Amino acid sequence: MRCPQCEARETRVVDSRDLEDSATVRRRRECSACGTRFTTYERVESARLVVVKRDGGREEFDRAKLVSGLRKALTRRPVADDAAERAADAIEAELRAAGLAEVPSQHVGELAQERLRSLDQIAYIRFASVYRSFEDLEELKREVDSLFEERGTRLGPAT
Ligand SMILES: [Zn+2]
């Protein structure tokens, strides 16, 4: 495992933890040469999972692509550095737990929206506006309103 900073090969593990799906181990490593700390993920290689696109095309489930979409939505939001990774892990675990060989891309998108919605509402709106390509401002406003309503419910009745 090369250091992303200086490319030295000598690194040591400073922390190791199972993630929620327990098929992934997250390790914090420290470069022995320059002291840079970075994170690696070790995963069990699992059965193929095929995503069926809207146009009927099929492609292997691409975790990196999912992470990058989530990360884009979470840019500069106050969440943990690895929030996108963790959300992707949870989504992949949920997809695999269903035990299906093929899942519609729409379902993957819905799971991503659910995760983001509970993680960060701005990120959720960003993702949803790209993913669902809101028809107009009215539709976007309805979505935002529903978030406010939910928040109101969570905080209890206004005094
Ligand atoms: Zn280094």
Strand pairing report for 37-43 and 24-31: antiparallel
Q: Which two tokens stand for residue 34?
A: 């320059």
Q: In what order do the strands lie in the sheet with 24-31?
A: 11-18, 24-31, 37-43
CA of residue 79 to ligand 1 center, whole Å: 26
CA of residue 66 to ligand 1 center, whole Å: 28
CA of residue 40 to ligand 1 center, whole Å: 14
pLDDT at 61 over 60: yes
CA of residue 73 to ligand 1 center, whole Å: 30
pLDDT at 37 over 80: yes
What are the phi and psi torsion angles at 33 (to 5°)?
-85, -50
The residues near 147 (Cβ < 8 Å, ≥ 6 apart) are: 117, 121, 124, 125
CA of residue 42 to ligand 1 center, whole Å: 20
CA of residue 30 to ligand 1 center, whole Å: 8
Taking the complete model, does pTM exceed 0.75, yes or no?
Answer: no
Least confident of 1-5, 87-91, 140-144: 140-144
